[in-house]
Chains A and B, each alone.
Chain A
Amino acid sequence: MATAQAAVQPRTATPSARLVKFISRAPVHLGLLLVAVIWLVPTVGLAVTSFRPRGDIQASSWWSSLTDWSFTLHNYSEVLNKANMDKAFVNSILITVPSTLLPLVLAAAAAYAFSWISFPFRDTIFLLIVALMVVPVQMALVPLLTLFRDLGISNWFGGIWLAHTAFGLPLGIFLLRNFFIALPRDLIEAARVDGASNLRIFLKVVLPLSVPALASFGIFQFLWVWNDLLMSFIFIQNGDLLPMTVRINQMQTTYGGEWHLLSAGAFLLMIVPLAVFFALQRYFVQGLLAGSVK
């Protein structure tokens, strides 16, 4: 047995050598185990709580319930019906989808011009847009609210769509321009020599080749908007249109210690981002790396 192992891995030949290696690695495994516990326990605790009857939550700890199973979906139905979370869920979707598609289209078009059409002050304008990436929403908050009020769109989704679109554009233009400009030059010039218009090159050559970058920015913006509290809190003046984040914040001030409702609400809020994240993790991480490192 030992000899068979030795043939494959001469360095860890004998059992004692492997034992030594395992023990020397033990601090690494223990450290990572601790990290895993700290990162999992908070979420698991709330997840378990969201399935426990209200009385049980008050009476005993969530970790004691792991050995004494009595789980229910009642908290979820209650939070959906009583706390209007069903409506808030729909509102979150109605806010997020246009606030993702609009900046995606506008940023892609602008990024194309910044990469493949030459015009005066191109790089200066691009740098100024990149600089806008770090402007906090607070810096535009008071004037935007008066603007939306004057336009009559503060009682509707119009204001929040516009605000999210504008604040998503700098990152989108930056990410997509960096991707577009790395496309093979010959391809675009060949299309140009064949007489293709800019619109045609953009739609038929650049966009099909840039699906990963478009996906990265799209996912990033989707999660950003879905998870946002501040902008919805300020720009949505109509209580019937509030998204889940604002509703959950209201819930925890009105229902204070009602953990059966808060935990279920928090998990409803997390379902969509988690699904997006696990399905498209690769694009999300790529977008993050491109946005920060490039």
Chain B
Amino acid sequence: MSSTAAPGSVGRPRGRRLPSIFKRQGWQAFLFIGPALLLLLVLIVYPMIRTIIYSFGNTNSRLEITRWIGFDNYTRMFTRDKSFLNLDVFPPSGALVNNVKWMILYTTVSLLLGLLIAVLAARVRYEALMKSIVFVPMAIAATAVAIIWKFVYEPDPNLGSLNGFITTLGSDPIAWYGRADTVNYALIFAYIWASTGFAMVVLSAALKGISEEVIEAARTDGAGEWDIFRRIQLPLLSLPIAVVTVWLLINVIKVFDLIYVMTGGGPGAASEVIAVTMVDEFGNGEGGYAAAIAVVMMLLIIPIMAFNVRRFRSERVTG
């Protein structure tokens, strides 16, 4: 027989007693999960459904639906609201385009920088110190990160570190967050600064999990440092890299605090993103339109979530 019972259970008959205990306990499970389940249903699931309903209507300032307008909130978002999506200009602009910019730049740079720092720090004796320095911004509020970086970017070279630095090199000071062509990059870099620590910690832990013996064996066989990284470490990092990428992507679709505090979406609408637009419209009393923006945000997240749940399921089967 190919039965693979655990050593402890060998010979113990699968009698009636244990299942009956479990059966009797079924209702008890409800006492344990009931409160959590109730809150999740009332405060997340039910509001999600309500938000979808809201997205097909107009509301008054008390957030009561006054008129059903079908998909008009959605057509407004993609065709008439130029601060959300403007395809008339080249390159296209608007909150949605900015979010795409964020997704590409923020995700790749945070990931690569985190990987680079993890790999470099592993080669020096002050590794723990380095990792702490890069990781600390993860613990502080995005509101504080916004203040820290707004000060770095201050146009007055006597205030802002960055302009102080470039003026000593002979350049004119630049209003980093006051100009439409630099504001997004200034914000994205500040957020990269705040989240690289996450990528670094996860990837560093994964690197530590790769056996030293394998690397030493490759080294004695004459493999260079780059070969070791490229052919041994990188392939084994593919899962943690996927995990970090998912986390960064979800983070960037939700990005709000940093932009709201630092620029409020300005100058004009140059640094608007989906989450900021949503709150602004909500503040304008446009409950239906705000709900429709939230639905679009959710639709962007769902594919990433599906990937996550699938990964989780496959792990459960093997683990």
Residues in A with CB closer than 8 Å to B312 are: 127, 130
Contact: A28 with B282, CB < 8 Å?
A: no
Residues of A in contact with B (beta carbons under 8 Å apart) = 25, 28-29, 31-32, 35-36, 38-43, 45-46, 49, 57-63, 106-107, 109-110, 112-114, 117-120, 122, 125, 127, 129-136, 138-147, 162-163, 165-167, 169-170, 173, 186, 192, 198, 202, 223, 226-230, 233-234, 245, 248-249, 252-253, 259, 262-263, 265-267, 269-270, 273-274, 276-277, 281, 284-285, 288-289, 292-294
Which of B36, B123, B161, B202 interacts with A28 by CB under 8 Å? B123
Residue of A at shortest CB range from B294? A138
Query: How many residues on the B side are at the interface (Cβ–Cβ under 8 A)?
Result: 98
A152 CA to B135 CA, complexed, in Å: 41
Contact: B164 with A63, CB < 8 Å?
A: yes
Residues in B with CB closer than 8 Å to A267 are: 144
Contact: A186 with B8, CB < 8 Å?
A: yes
Given A127-B309, A259-B151, 16 extra CB contacts under 8 A? A49-B151, A110-B36, A114-B33, A117-B29, A125-B33, A125-B37, A127-B313, A130-B309, A135-B44, A136-B298, A138-B275, A138-B297, A146-B64, A167-B44, A230-B275, A234-B282
Contact: B152 with A45, CB < 8 Å?
A: yes
In the complex, B46 has a CB within 8 A of chain A: yes
Per-residue CB contact flags for chain B residues 32-51 toward chain A (1 = under 8 Å, else 0) read: 11011101101111111011
Residues in A with CB closer than 8 Å to B294 are: 136, 138-139, 141-142
Contact: B32 with A202, CB < 8 Å?
A: yes
Which of B32, B51, B161, B244 interacts with A198 by CB under 8 Å? B32
Residues in A with CB closer than 8 Å to B308 are: 134
Contact: A143 with B260, CB < 8 Å?
A: no
Which of A129, A134, A173, A274 interacts with B136 by CB under 8 Å? A274
Secondary structure class of chain B's binding surface, majority of residues: helix
- Distance (whole angstroms) from the CB of A37 to the closest CB of chain B: 10
Q: Which of B20-28, B66-74, B82-90, B175-183 contacts A (4 or more CB under 8 A)?
A: B20-28
Contact: B33 with A292, CB < 8 Å?
A: no
Contact: B147 with A138, CB < 8 Å?
A: no
Contact: B256 with A229, CB < 8 Å?
A: yes
Contact: B40 with A132, CB < 8 Å?
A: yes
Residue of B at shortest CB range from A105? B35
Contact: A110 with B33, CB < 8 Å?
A: yes
Residue of B at shortest CB range from A202? B32
In the complex, B247 has a CB within 8 A of chain A: yes
- Distance (whole angstroms) from the CB of A35 to the closest CB of chain B: 6
Contact: A252 with B32, CB < 8 Å?
A: no
Residues in B with CB closer than 8 Å to A107 are: 36
Q: Which of B1-24 contact A (CB under 8 A)?
A: 8, 21-22
Residue of B at shortest CB range from A285? B201
In the complex, B236 has a CB within 8 A of chain A: no
Residues in B with CB closer than 8 Å to A145 are: 63
Residues in B with CB closer than 8 Å to A143 are: 46-47, 50-51, 54
Which of B159, B301, B305, B313 interacts with A259 by CB under 8 Å? B159
Which of B30, B140, B260, B309 interacts with A131 by CB under 8 Å? B309
Which of B26, B116, B124, B261 interacts with A229 by CB under 8 Å? B261
In the complex, B56 has a CB within 8 A of chain A: no
Residues in B with CB closer than 8 Å to A163 are: 43
Contact: A45 with B161, CB < 8 Å?
A: yes
Residue of A at shortest CB range from B253? A136
A180 CA to B59 CA, complexed, in Å: 46
- Distance (whole angstroms) from the CB of B84 to the closest CB of chain A: 14
Contact: A109 with B201, CB < 8 Å?
A: no
Contact: B48 with A140, CB < 8 Å?
A: yes
A125 CA to B147 CA, complexed, in Å: 41
